[in-house]
Structure 1
Amino acid sequence: MTTSLALCFDAPLQSWGTRSRGIIRDTAREPTKSGVVGLLAAALGARRDDDETTQRLAALHLAIRVDREGILERDYHTTQNVPTTEGKGHRTVVSERYYLADALFLVVLEGDPDLLHQLHDRADRPHWPLFFGRRAFVPARPLLTEDALTAAPAAEVISTHRWLEADPDAIKAARLGADRVPLRTITDCEPAKHGAQPRHDHPVSIAQRTFRTRYVLNATTDLTDALIRAGESTSCS
């Protein structure tokens, strides 16, 4: 039996790094699989060196709908008195850190029913605090959406789940037809799928920071009247 779990990722700031070593800390424009797995592992209370749980979570089919595109922002950091690698004195380190402001995502996981039920039980009662890429970037509202667990495949949930937008002005504008554009989607797929694109963010071991490549399909789904009407009177709960 197909089981999917729908989650709401909403926060003033989010960061989903893909190449965050050295002085440049980047962010993808939507949650990475490694980031989603890390967050879910924290909810379950799995340790960083629990590779079995990491791989069980990473095996879930991931689909993301971008309900509000975030604004890409950059912080310029300077850190003084950093010890040199030779241990002879100190230096100042300059880094650039990117993040998304005001982004909103519908994150859908499909797969092992037992695991998804565990995640449903822990999503809003996490073992450890949850954050979106950096410890200061905490959720603005509960992760669980209404009817979070469904028997529908992720592809169906992505196209039929209510719009998660909670801003009355944005909802009104969309309802009237102003600035209504299709919602971007990013979905796990087979490598042979036409249009498949590689993403090197499928975690194998969080503790050892090892990853393998997965493939995703970038597409869009229409922001329909039904999705907007369903979102007008409900919120993530």
Structure 2
Amino acid sequence: MTSEATLLLRLAGPTQAWDVHRAQPDLTRRPIKRDLSPERLAPTNTGLAGLLGSALGRYRIAGPPRHARPELADLLALDIVVRADQPGRARTEFRTTRRRTQSRMIVQPLIESVLDDAVFLAGIGGDRAFLDQIAAALHAPRWALFLGRREYPPTYPLLLGVVDGDPVDILRAHDWIAAPWYRRTQPRRTEARLYRPRDQRRATELGYIQIDNPDGYPDRISPGAWIDALIPPTRKG
């Protein structure tokens, strides 16, 4: 879709849970090694649509899968681009979920992967009037906001504003929003992954933003005027 404006979100918190591949543990078999790469655990389309839906007070209709829910259709149609400024550390959690039937409450164990200390910059492109409506809702959300799971609220600021332009162009030029302590652990030249999120399929890679990090430790590459350069991702294999 053609984006008239971009809503900017800072997605940061002690823990984020965007894992769409939750699994029930099989105690009769050896544990399966899970893919804990931060790229696989980054924000997803439905996760971000759910966050915006909570701010707007959208009721979730029971029945169809999340990606087909009609009450989120206009939010899922937005042009979402994410930049991983601070990928975070992945770990696995064991938790339980509850599901009520007509006769009883069923408790099910789940294995889920989460990210600690991650920071993402999300650019959501769409009609300016609709994005302004979402921004107003984020200032005074109808329901509590969370980063993938209700146990994990965001730290503030969450909303960075609404600006004119395409989300890819905006995210290429926006300041690096990683935490100061993280910047000191990175080299003078570092990078941030840029992608369009997907849920069940692999994200669409848009490249890497190279970043001039004056707080980082010196590396072997001499400094140069390369900030805000879009470098295509390296193909594996």
In 2, the alpha carbon distance for the partners of 1:165 and 1:63 equals: 17
TM-score by length of 2: 0.69
2:56 to 35, 41, 44: 44
RMSD: 3.5
* Equivalent residue, structure 1, for 2:116: 101
Structure 1 unmatched ranges of 5 or more = 189-198, 202-212, 229-237
In structure 2, the CA distance between the partners of 1:173 and 1:77, relative to structure 1 (3 Å rule), is closer
* Equivalent residue, structure 2, for 1:22: 24
1:67 to 85, 101, 118: 85
Task: Give 1:123 deviation, angstroms.
Answer: 1.3
- 1:159 matches 2:175: no
* Equivalent residue, structure 2, for 1:184: 193
* Equivalent residue, structure 1, for 2:125: 110
* Equivalent residue, structure 2, for 1:170: 182
Equivalent residues, number: 194
Contact 1:26–1:97 (CA under 8 A) maintained in structure 2: no
Task: Give 1:152 deviation, angstroms.
Answer: 1.4
* Equivalent residue, structure 2, for 1:194: none
TM-score by length of 1: 0.69
* Equivalent residue, structure 2, for 1:144: 159
In structure 2, the CA distance between the partners of 1:42 and 1:13, relative to structure 1 (3 Å rule), is same
Cα deviation, 1:103-150, whole Å, max 9, x if unaligned, reads 1000110012221111111113211000111111001212112xx211
Task: Give 1:182 deviation, angstroms.
Answer: 1.2
Task: Give 1:78 deviation, angstroms.
Answer: 7.3
* Equivalent residue, structure 1, for 2:230: none
Q: 2:60 is matched by which residue type in structure 1?
A: R
Partner of 1:223, secondary structure, is strand
In structure 2, the CA distance between the partners of 1:42 and 1:180, relative to structure 1 (3 Å rule), is same
Report sequence identity in percent.
Answer: 27
Task: Give 1:33 deviation, angstroms.
Answer: 0.2
Structure 2 unmatched ranges of 5 or more = 27-33, 63-68, 217-237
In 2, the alpha carbon distance for the partners of 1:43 and 1:163 equals: 26
